[in-house]
Chains A and B, each alone.
Chain A
């Protein structure tokens, strides 16, 4: 810009006297001006590159072991506009009472990417393969786990649109295997909060200088029309069985979600969130008026070698009485209430070079059918018993990005159909 101005001034100065000068004189004058402009440009370049001094400025002195720089050192190289990351995990589960059910699985392999269109606008995506092989004859899945555009409107807040992770709980948004203890994700954040839970929509996010982060949006929700009363999936995870994952999602009824998290004290994080909306999706069936309300609160405290966390989540589905009447005689009606909570303590017992060894213990209770709508005929459905699980094990971090896991899980109630039963687990996970 400045250079342009100098050229303009030079041209104006050059042209003004030219009307009264002969050609040779004009040429000489132009040459002189060119030389002056070049000199000015060189001076400006030097000024720009010179060290920033607070007046009165002093010249840098050569000092021992430190070379006085004639020009400022180059700025740090800019990151590429497009970046890739990824994570993956391989698990082995061995039920102690049913060794024949032991299973090894490439649970998931994920490639993530982001691209910066400009300083304020990014696209983020995650592509995932589950269970190693996905084809018409195999159990594996290929999925787009997240894909959204994010635009920062100001340093403190912005807007996102696309397929986004629902901002509930500790795990859903931070589900890489290096981020949690134990081979398997905790039950509360799989059975009650169906991680990895994502919906399509628009959200605004932001944070304050006091450490309060917020995220609120509107988007798609689960589809109660997908409920299968004959299968066990609704008992394993009520919302996991009817989430839509933006796969030709029925979207008559938008859902609202909001989350608040506070990180004002280093090491401590507390927060909570809600997700609410009609889930009949406008279809003409007995569950058309059903509404979902799911709320959770959580806390995590990392201090010294200790990492303590706790979470409680509770969900309700209204207006299920008529729908469950149509499911009479089938094993899995729609629950009116479901809940779960856990407390977990981990201790980084050993730390050497980049490696660490962290034993942990977690206790959780959860119930995917804590209450059912009363029926006008018959005794109705009685609540399921509450499952209680102790998990104890070790996360061995070869480095912060690679983890080997071992744990043992003790269930108070076996349920082979849902895979509940005492077992030990082995796992490998990585993140880059």
Chain B
């Protein structure tokens, strides 16, 4: 009688197997426009900073853009990656001209475990944080039970980018 259970499960699995399986949730461009809808330009810039100064591994080089509206700097946009449990999580962070978080987006996520970091309520915890906040798991950022490693590594990634902005980009005059 249990064989009857197998038939619909098998048929269902075969059916959904035909659906494409993109793991990308947002492109960099989509995330940029969502964070800075008024921007007229995103200028790619490179920060002169020693990775060790912000607690990053050697060779760490997040992509950075300066969001502008005409001559006015609206803020900064970063695209970086961290390891979740065993796979890369690509994410983006948008900061306003004062260095406060506008949005954290998960761009690509590759493993089933820990995928809860994609949830909007969890990511919203970062909004408004600056380099003067702890931005530490279980302190000002709440954990998701069962997704601890992804939560911790993503939180550490945001902390690094906030420090990077503080160390390397803060002298940029904001008009």
Contacts and interface: CB of A to CB of B under 8 A. Distances in A.
B28 A52 contact: yes
Given A73-B46, A266-B142, A211 B119 contact: yes
B119 A54 contact: no
A76 B90 contact: yes
Contacts of A53: 41-43
Contact of A68 (B45, B59, B79, B81): B45
Contacts of B110: 116, 119
Contact of A263 (B29, B45, B145, B171): B145
Given A65-B171, A72-B63, A155-B109, A58 B68 contact: yes
Interface residues of B, number: 72
Interface residues of A, number: 76
A85 B85 contact: yes
Contacts of A75: 63, 79
A55 B42 CA distance: 10
A305 B147 CA distance: 18
Interface string B36-66: 0001111111111000000000010111111
B148 interface: yes
Interface in B122-160: 122, 125, 138-139, 141-148, 152
Given A54-B33, A64-B173, A66-B45, A218 B5 contact: yes
A58 B2 contact: no
Nearest to A305: B138
Contacts of A60: 43-45, 66
Interface centre among B80, B115, B141 (most CB of A within 10 A): B115
Contacts of A218: 2, 5-6, 9
B169 to A, nearest CB: 6
B11 interface: no
Contacts of B141: 266
A73 B63 contact: yes
Contacts of B32: 52, 54
A209 B112 CA distance: 14
A260 to B, nearest CB: 13
Contacts, number: 197
Nearest to A252: B2
Contacts of B20: 154
B86 interface: yes
Contact of B44 (A69, A150, A157, A302): A69
Contact of A56 (B40, B122, B144, B145): B40
B144 A51 contact: no
Interface string A191-234: 00000000000101101010101000010000000000000000
B40 A51 contact: no
B167 to A, nearest CB: 9
Given A153-B16, A154-B16, A67 B142 contact: no
B169 A65 contact: yes
Contact of B48 (A66, A179, A266): A66
A211 B116 contact: yes
A155 B139 contact: no
A163 interface: no
B34 interface: no
A76 B81 contact: yes
A201 to B, nearest CB: 10
B156 to A, nearest CB: 10
Contact of A119 (B21, B28, B47, B144): B21
Contact of A266 (B88, B125, B139): B125
A264 B5 contact: no
Contacts of A79: 83, 86-88
B23 A72 contact: no
B112 A114 contact: no
Contact of A153 (B19, B41, B139): B19
A227 to B, nearest CB: 22
B47 to A, nearest CB: 6
Contacts of A265: 121
Contact of A204 (B13, B59, B85, B87): B13
Given A170-B145, A266-B143, 20 more contacts: A51-B65, A52-B32, A53-B43, A57-B41, A73-B61, A75-B79, A76-B62, A83-B87, A85-B86, A122-B87, A153-B16, A154-B20, A154-B21, A157-B16, A158-B112, A218-B6, A254-B5, A256-B5, A266-B121, A348-B138
Closest A-B pairs by Cβ, 5 of them: A51-B44, A267-B142, A76-B81, A269-B145, A60-B43
Interface of B: 2, 5-6, 9, 12-13, 16-17, 19-23, 25, 28-29, 32-33, 39-48, 59, 61-66, 68, 79-81, 83, 85-88, 90, 109-112, 115-116, 119-122, 125, 138-139, 141-148, 152, 168-169, 171-173
15 contacts: A53-B43, A55-B40, A58-B41, A65-B172, A66-B169, A73-B44, A76-B81, A78-B88, A116-B87, A122-B111, A153-B17, A174-B146, A263-B144, A263-B146, A265-B121
